[in-house]
Structure 1
Amino acid sequence: MEHQGSNDPSVMKRIILVLRRLPARIVAYVAAKRRAKRASSKLAQHAIPMELKQEFVRELRAGWKSLGEQRTESPVEALSEIYNEQERAIIHRIRHETEIANQNNVTRTEAYRAVYFRCPELHWALLAHLVSRNGGWNMTDLQGELLPRLLDRAYRKQTFLMLERANAMIFQDAYPQLLLYEASRKEGRELFSLLPAFGVSGFMRPVWSQFWRRKDAAMLTTALIVNEQHVIEVPLVRSTYFKEHVTRKPAFLLQTPLQTNAVFMPYGAPNEGAMKLAGLVLENFRSLEERIEFGKRLYAILYGVPEVHRGVLAFVRAVHHTGSRADYAPHLFTKQLRPQSTRSYVEKLDGCKLKRGAKKLASPELGAAWQDVPVEIGGREDWFQETSEVEGYFEQLLIPEVFVISEEHCRAINKIELAVLAAQRLKPSSVQDKRR
Structure 2
Amino acid sequence: MLYSFSDVKKELKRKSKGKVSSKQAISLSEEEKKLIHFINKQTEKYNQNNVTRTHAYFNFYLQHPDIHWAFLGHMVSRNGGWNMTDLKGELFTKLLSEDEQRVFFSFLERGNWLIFQDVYPQFLLYEQCLKRNKKMFYLLPFFDVSTFMETMWNYFWENRDPYPLCIATIINEQHYLEKRVMQNNYFKKAVLSTVGFKLYDFFRFNHILFPYYEEGSKKALLVGETSRHFTSVHERILLGKRLYALLFRHKDILSGAYHWAKDHPHTGSRKDYWPHLFNDVNESFPRGLYRRRIKNCQLRKGAERLYSPPLKYAWANVNHKKAESGDWFNDWHVIEYLTGKEVDSDGKIYNEYCKTLEKIELTIMAKKAFLREEEESK
- TM class by smaller structure: over 0.9
C-alpha distance in structure 2 between counterparts of 1:412 and 1:57, whole Å: 43
Q: Give the alignment partner of residue 411 of structure 1, picking from 355, 373, 377.
A: 355
Letter in 2 for 1:114: N
Equivalence for 1:51? none
Q: What corresponds to 2:9 in structure 1?
A: 61
- Matching residue of 1:382: 327
Bigger mean CA deviation after superposition, 303-312 or 406-415: 406-415
Query: How far, CA to CA, are the matches of 1:339 and 1:355 in structure 2?
Result: 14
| Paired AA for residue 182 in structure 1 | E
C-alpha spacing 1:298/1:284, structure 2 compared with 1 (3 Å) = same
Structure 2 gaps of 5+ residues are none
Which letter does structure 1 place at the counterpart of 2:59? A
SS, match of residue 277 in structure 1: strand
Aligned to 1:123: 68
Pick from 365, 369, 373 the counterpart of residue 421 of structure 1.
365
Determine the C-alpha separation between the residues in 1 that align with 2:60 and 2:219: 29
Q: Kindly report which structure 2 residues correspond to 1:155-194, keeping only aligned pairs within 5 A, or say none.
A: 155-194=100-139
Q: Residues 60 and 250 of structure 1: is their aligned pair in 2 closer, same or farther, counting only changes over 3 Å?
A: same
Alignment of 1:11-160 (within 5 A): 56-67=4-15, 68-71=18-21, 82-160=27-105
Q: Distance in 1 between matches of 2:114 and 2:154?
A: 23
Match of 1:305 in 2: 250
> Aligned equivalents of 1:176 and 1:161: distance in 2?
23
Cα distance in 2 between the residues matched to 1:69 and 1:273: 54
Q: Given the two structures, how large is their TM-score scaled by the length of structure 2?
A: 0.93
Cα RMSD for the two superposed structures: 2.3
Q: What is the correspondence of 1:274-353 to structure 2 with a 5 Å cutoff?
A: 275-337=220-282, 341-353=286-298
The count of aligned residue pairs is 371
Percent identity between the aligned chains?
Answer: 38
2: CA distance between counterparts of 1:65 and 1:239? 28
User: Contact conserved, 1:258 with 1:412, CA < 8 A, in 2?
Assistant: yes
Q: CA-to-partner distance for each residue in 1:238-293, whole Å, 9 max, x for gaps?
A: 11101111110012222454243111111128x99953111101111110000000
Q: Is the 8 A contact 1:272 1:331 kept in 2?
A: no
Q: Kindly tell me: are residues 393 and 121 of structure 1, through their superposed partners in 2, closer, same or farther at Cα, counting changes over 3 Å?
A: closer
Distance 2:193 2:125 in 1: 38
Question: What's the CA shift for 1:414?
Answer: 1.6
Q: Which has the higher contact order (CA 8 A, sep 6+)?
A: 1
Measured in 2, the distance between the counterparts of 1:244 and 1:340 equals 35
Change in 2 beyond 3 A, CA 1:293/1:366: same
**1:243 is paired with a residue of what secondary structure?**
helix
1:289-314 Cα distance to aligned partner (Å, 9 max, x none): 00000001000110001111111011
Equivalent pair of 2:206/2:227 in contact (CA under 8 Å): yes
Alpha-carbon distance in 2 for matches of 1:56, 1:430: 67
Compute the displacement of 1:379 (Å).
3.7
Question: Cα distance, 1:216 vs. partner?
Answer: 0.7
TM-score (norm 1): 0.81
State the Cα deviation string for residues 372-411 of structure 1 (Å, max 9, x = none).
11122334100001212443453232212x4121232222
